[in-house]
Amino acid sequence: MIVLLTAFTASVQAQVDVTICNNAPYTIANAASPSNGEVDKYRWFKDNEWIVEGPGYTSYTIPSGTTAGTYKYVRQAHAQACDMWVSSNVFTVQVIAGTTPGVPSATGAARCGAGTVTCTATAPSGGSITWWDAAGNQITFPYDITSTTTFYAQAHSGANGTGCVSASRRAVTATVNDVPVVALATNPTPVFSGNASTLTATVSFGSTSSMSYTWTKVGGSSSTNTTNSWSTGTLTANASYTVTVRNTDGCTGTSGTATVTALAAWTRMQVSASEYYNAEFSQSACPSGWRLPTNAEFQAMINAGYTWRDANSGYGNTENGMFFGSNSELCTTTNGNCIFLPARGGYGNDDGTYGYYWSSTLDGGRFGFLSFGGGVPVVGHDFSYYYNSFNFPVLCVQ
């Protein structure tokens, strides 16, 4: 007769080394039984000496008051079908005289951008603290981080990470908050002396909600508001500014310097009566002592404000055109601080719908010009080279 026996092949699950305090009993965690074969009893050894044996000893409890020291343990399982014992690895239990500390209290940290942080913790009954990362590596503070990171504090009953340890660790978070990145246009549109410029900050990184903006005149005073635009107030000379933004996390970012050019105001202006000039001849069209405006001056004129008015609509203008000035909607041809330019068209056509005026600014062989109609006036260079041959009127200034 042939008898088939079930092989008892699997070893007992590996045990791990532990450190315990002798103020309370400690149960060595259950280890899995062999996966193949019926176990009928277990036995335990300490320092190569038999301790206990029987069917109920899947785990073993080290009693409180055990003398301090380091002990070696082995757990064995016995198969009922055959007289065979399977052993675990030899593992150590270090017993320390003392009391197991409670879980420590701990406080995380926060910073703006990447860099070093320091978290703090307090052992509940004195002693000391060790710190660990998520991978189980012991670390010390200050510690360099690039993103929000979780750390773990463990309490020890002795100094310098010695003695009994807390049963668990306290998790804390070190937060990396966004640093706002802010910019101002490095060359804001110039203004005429006596006018204000509006600066606008662009935040390209970090939340813009509930930010404060501190606007600083280089060599002068500062002003704080909660919007990303700000008026410089009246300028009589060139002035440079920076802006510093602060978010709700207390993180700040400062822009580079932006310089606003204050142009000298014109004292007199005249529009060519019925003459039209191409780009080349426009440059010598003004009488002696007069000149064409630059692109920057035309832009400053636009920035001061503009309003389209039809002819004979009660504002003194007998032609369709546009008023420019800080109160352009109140301008007439007789009150001060206003410029009226008639919409005399271009290309030799006085159609009263559009206005074009040559500039003295030359770039890449093309002269700029002001253009306007019923919408927003614009200043730029010719849309193509052939515009230089078109005929526009001229505005002469002093």
- Evaluate if residue 47 carries a pLDDT over 70: yes
Q: Which helix (H) or strand (E) holds 122?
A: strand 120-122
Provide the pLDDT confidence category of residue 381 given band limits of 50, 70 and 90.
Answer: low
DSSP string, 182-244: EEE-SSPPPEETTB--EEEEEEEES--TT-EEEEEETTS-EEEESSSEEE---BSS-EEEEEE
Instruction: Name all domains of the chain by residue range, CATH numbers in brackets.
Output: 18-96 (2.60.40.10), 105-177 (2.60.40), 181-263 (2.60.40.10), 269-397 (no CATH)
- Evaluate if residue 270 carries a pLDDT over 60: yes
- Evaluate if residue 246 carries a pLDDT over 60: yes
> What does the pLDDT average to over 329-338?
74
Provide the pLDDT confidence category of residue 1 given band limits of 50, 70 and 90.
Answer: very low
Nearest to 150 by CA among 167, 131, 127: 131
State the Cα–Cα distance between residues 380 and 281, nearest whole angstrom: 19
The phi, psi pair for 388, rounded to 5°, reads -65, -20
What is the number of other CB atoms lying within 10 angstroms of the CB of residue 103?
A: 16
Q: 362 Cβ partners below 8 Å, 6+ apart?
A: 368
To the nearest 10°, report the CA torsion of 93, 98, 99, 105: -90
State the Cα–Cα distance between residues 309 and 322, nearest whole angstrom: 6
> What does the pLDDT average to over 81-88?
79
Provide the pLDDT confidence category of residue 388 given band limits of 50, 70 and 90.
Answer: low
- Evaluate if residue 271 carries a pLDDT over 80: yes
Residue 7: the pLDDT is 42
Q: What are the distances in angstroms from CA 272 to CA 282, 378, 396, 397?
A: 10, 20, 8, 11
Render pLDDT for 136-190 as a digit per residue (tens, 0 to 9).
999 999 999 999 999 999 999 889 988 888 889 999 999 999 999 999 987 788 8
Tokens of 244: 């510093």
State the Cα–Cα distance between residues 189 and 91, nearest whole angstrom: 78
Burial class (CB in 10 A: 0-12, 13-18, 19+), 209: exposed
Q: 383 Cβ partners below 8 Å, 6+ apart?
A: none
State the Cα–Cα distance between residues 282 and 359, nearest whole angstrom: 9
What pTM value is reported for the model?
A: 0.67
> What does the pLDDT average to over 338-345?
87
Exposure string over 55-64, b if 16+ CB within 10 A, otherwise e: eebeebebee
Residue 12: the pLDDT is 53
Nearest to 302 by CA among 394, 377, 208, 384: 377
- Percent of the chain scored above 90 by pLDDT? 42
In the three-class reduction of DSSP (H, G, I as helix; E, B as strand; rest coil), residue 346 is classed as strand
Q: What are the distances in angstroms from CA 397 to CA 272, 299, 365, 392?
A: 11, 15, 23, 16
- Percent of the chain scored above 70 by pLDDT? 89
To the nearest 10°, report the CA torsion of 340, 345, 349, 350: -30
Question: For 15-24, 220-229, 235-244, 316-325, which range has the lowest pLDDT when averaged over its residues?
Answer: 15-24
Residue 4: the pLDDT is 33
State the Cα–Cα distance between residues 71 and 80, nearest whole angstrom: 30
Render pLDDT for 178-231 as a digit per residue (tens, 0 to 9).
999 999 987 788 888 888 889 999 998 766 668 999 999 999 999 999 999 999
> What does the pLDDT average to over 385-393?
70
